[in-house]
Structure 1
Amino acid sequence: MDNDSSYFGRGPGLQSGMSTAAATPQRPGSPNESVGRNPFGDGVESQASHRSGNNGNPFQSPSGSRPASSFDASSALGNRYDGGQRYFHSRRVRKGEVEKPWTKNADPKEKWVTILPILGIVIGLGISGFLVWDGLRSVVKHNYCLELEENWSNGINPSIWQKEVQVNGFGNGEFEMTTPGDGNVFVQDGKLIIKATLQDDSLMQKDNTIDLLKEGTCTSNLPEYCIAATNTTAGNSSIVPPVLSGRINSRKGAAIKYGRVEVTAKLPAGDWLWPAIWMMPVDSAYGPWPQSGEIDIVEARGNNYTYPQGGNNIISSALHWGPNPANDAWWRTNVKRPALHTTYSAGFNTFGLEWSQKYLFTYVNSRLLQVMYVNFDTPMWTRGNFPVADSNGTRIDDIWGKTGRYNTPFDQKFYLILNLAVGGTNGWFEDNTNGKPWLNGSPNARKDFWLAKDSWFPTWTSPQMEVSKVMMWRQCDGDEDL
């Protein structure tokens, strides 16, 4: 018997009713050779083929097949297949029966299959290395000299810092009055505190006037910035600023033209608070704002993360520049950066600026974590794409082209400003957003804000900006004169 007959047969003994001839494999030339013949040529025929008349198809499933797991134990021991039916025949390829062309002599060209990828990697690394080297070589390395190191150990030095005192919102329609005393700007535990507090409610309930010119404390010469009144008899009654806050600048003692600035600060938390760390030109060499420029290192809002424009979880940096306020191109140089799984009011961060005649960028905590980058490779007038005339038909001329410098107006000395504003009507807080209680175009904006204090004042969990350190370096390698 063929060696495979024990695997495909019934095992020891034959079931009754089946002749020995039925279990005997057919031999070539026998009358049944064309029926149920095993194509594998191993002498074993499928009995199912004989029964079903499948013309010898060994791959056709027998009609009575069922899984081996359905056999009982006794059947499994004595008969591996029910009825002698054959399910599958496996032929293993014996060692040496299959050719292995890859073991023969390889084509000489095949070596390039390995060489070319390696060569490509080497060339790519070489090009990358050159680009890195060329980039580092082309970066201008500046020398910096310390201009200011302020840690408030001696309080607020009046030879460096000046408190700005006004009542009319600094041109932004802000709702705070900045004060000259120590109630809103002071040093505590080694940190500068700029804090927003509520105005005396009685000043809003009856007619009265705040006149900082008369008091001699106003830091502006314009009466509209120094005088405010509550008028309860007017059709649209006006009120004095409903909030007190502070603003401080370094114009008297520290200003730079190119260099670095770093301010380590914790920003406030509370609806409609507006902290800012920014710079303005010492002299308006090219004209009134924004012709002479403005550098906003960081601005934010005290609202929480649900505020659509970004609350205290987002900061923004911007440059303001243009021929007039209607054509301020700040939107071309404005970038936001969210905090990572936290807020900027949860702890201290270092907000920085690096500025040269070739570039200007801002960053948070590390110079690698850039917020805004502006490359002065194109004249700012060209970059702005300003119209040839304003809305009333007045011609708009290039006010910076005469300098021949691409970075004008950011080629003059700027000083630092730290302040905490509240509200405003310039659009920093958009109308009809997150329950904003006033409209920017309303003459009653201040009053509407004040009347809604029961909704926003409870959110003032930390209505202050805290500054632990201010560092300023000026560029001192000769290029600052360019």
Structure 2
Amino acid sequence: MGNVSMRQQPVYSADNSRRCLNNEFQVYTNQGKNLFSRGGHLYIKPTLTIDDPHYDSNRLYHGRMIVKDDFCGYCSQSTNWGCDRTAVNGNVLNPIMSGKVTTHASIRYGTVTVRAKIPRGDWIWPAIWMLPKDWHYGGWPRSGEIDLMEARCNAKVNCGGNDHGVGEVASTLHWGPSPSQNGFMKTHGEKDKNGGDWADGFHIYKLEWYADHIRVTVDGQQIMYVGTPGNGFYNYGGFGGSNIWASGGNNAPFDQPFQLIMNVAVGGGFFSSGCSYNHPRPWNDGSNKQMREFWDRRGEWLSTWHGDNVAMQIDYVEMVQA
């Protein structure tokens, strides 16, 4: 069988698209302050847009952001004004710049291992995850998504009496016929640090992906285990209607090649208004000025951002095709 193994730094491509449906506040760039290596580690670091020489406070509040011209020389995602946006109706331009990388390599079954150190700081959302290379079954979430690690890096995220802040990492499979019909709650797991936090150092996040199961661990401790349903994921989800994965096996859509993605987002729907935080959430659900609300209250959260501690650091990546 084929083998893809990448130690040290794999080949990456910068990607300034934003994750679907989450209304995050960053724009992804390929600039050296957002993606850089030091001491053998890859840093993926969010920074303030006004620290960029192209921007100042006046442009943030009243100007225009053209990603191709200002940052990357190209733009990969034009939907939702991802390539060209203007500060209108009292909102601001994306107040945060950050990094996102996607491996050129893809695998179908096997293992993915990432040794990484996650950030610490309010509203920072690091992720190590996978998306389908060819979108064989259609747009998200029809072709699936595999999340090895996601974290909310606030010191406190209290939801229903449980802390979901930097002391917890989560893994999830996303799958379903539409964004409103997503079976992810049946394929989700969380791992608590038992009083510590996962930003304390490097940890090993590992995906074991086979036709009959998907398992994710951190330092050998299980975060999530999903056995392939005997009647397939479509029936397991109870979606009704025609099975969109009928052409695949019981483990469809997780039977196609996936690529690895690593990024650091800021804000967005991952931080629910139904939770309480160490600082009040600075934006409101339904507002058309969420980025401005976030930025105008930076005095509450910026003090939790300290140097390179806001970066996700990657020590190594290994992808092995089964």
Q: SS at 2:253's partner residue?
A: coil
Q: Of 218, 222, 225, which aligns to 1:370?
A: 222
Aligned residue identity for 1:227: D
| Cα distance between partner residues in 2 of 1:459 and 1:352 | 29
- 1:226 corresponds to 2:83: yes
Does the CA-based 8 Å contact 2:61-2:93 persist in structure 1? no
- 1:268 corresponds to 2:119: yes
Q: SS at 1:401's partner residue?
A: coil
Q: Deviations over 1:270-299 (max 9, x none)?
A: 010000000000011111000000000110
| Cα distance between partner residues in 2 of 1:205 and 1:335 | 38
Q: 1:286 to 1:314 in 2, by over 3 A?
A: same
Structure number with greater Rg is 1
Give the CA RMSD over aligned residues.
1.8
Of stretches 414-423 and 334-343 in structure 1, the one that deviates more from structure 2 is 334-343
| Cα distance between partner residues in 2 of 1:145 and 1:463 | 37
Does the CA-based 8 Å contact 1:262-1:352 persist in structure 2? yes
Q: SS at 2:120's partner residue?
A: coil
Q: SS at 2:135's partner residue?
A: coil
Partner of 1:416: 260
Give matches, 1:293-442, under 5 Å.
Answer: 293-305=144-156, 307-308=158-159, 310-366=164-220, 369-378=221-230, 379-386=232-239, 388=240, 396-403=241-248, 405-424=249-268, 426=269, 428-431=270-273, 433-434=276-277, 435-442=280-287
Does the CA-based 8 Å contact 1:213-1:223 persist in structure 2? no
Q: SS at 2:247's partner residue?
A: helix
Structure 2, unaligned stretches of length 5 or more?
A: 51-55
Partner of 1:18: none
Q: 1:240 to 1:303 in 2, by over 3 A?
A: same
- 1:239 corresponds to 2:92: yes
Does the CA-based 8 Å contact 2:170-2:189 persist in structure 1? yes
Q: Deviations over 1:39-59 (max 9, x none)?
A: xxxxxxxxxxxxxxxxxxxxx
| Cα distance between partner residues in 2 of 1:204 and 1:276 | 30
Does the CA-based 8 Å contact 2:116-2:312 persist in structure 1? yes
- The runs of at least 4 consecutive aligned structure 1 residues that moved more than 4 Å come to 203-206
| Cα distance between partner residues in 1 of 2:68 and 2:157 | 41
Q: 1:443 to 1:199 in 2, by over 3 A?
A: same
Aligned residue identity for 2:320: W
Q: Which structure has more strand as a fraction of its residues?
A: 2
Count of equivalent residues: 306
Which structure has more RCO (C-alpha within 8 Å, separation ≥ 6)? 2
Shift of 1:151: 1.2
Q: 1:349 to 1:310 in 2, by over 3 A?
A: same
Give me the TM-score of the superposition, normalised by structure 2. 0.90
Shift of 1:304: 1.0
Q: Of 131, 136, 141, which aligns to 1:290?
A: 141
| Cα distance between partner residues in 2 of 1:406 and 1:381 | 9
Shift of 1:397: 2.0
Partner of 1:184: 34
Does the CA-based 8 Å contact 2:61-2:91 persist in structure 1? no
Partner of 1:455: 300
Structure 1, unaligned stretches of length 5 or more?
A: 1-143, 389-395, 476-482
Q: 1:371 to 1:223 in 2, by over 3 A?
A: closer
Shift of 1:402: 2.8
Partner of 1:82: none
- 1:147 corresponds to 2:147: no
Q: Which structure has more helix as a fraction of its residues?
A: 1
Q: 1:206 to 1:261 in 2, by over 3 A?
A: closer
Q: Deviations over 1:382-430 (max 9, x none)?
A: 11011x4xxxxxxx42101232x11000000000000000001x3x111
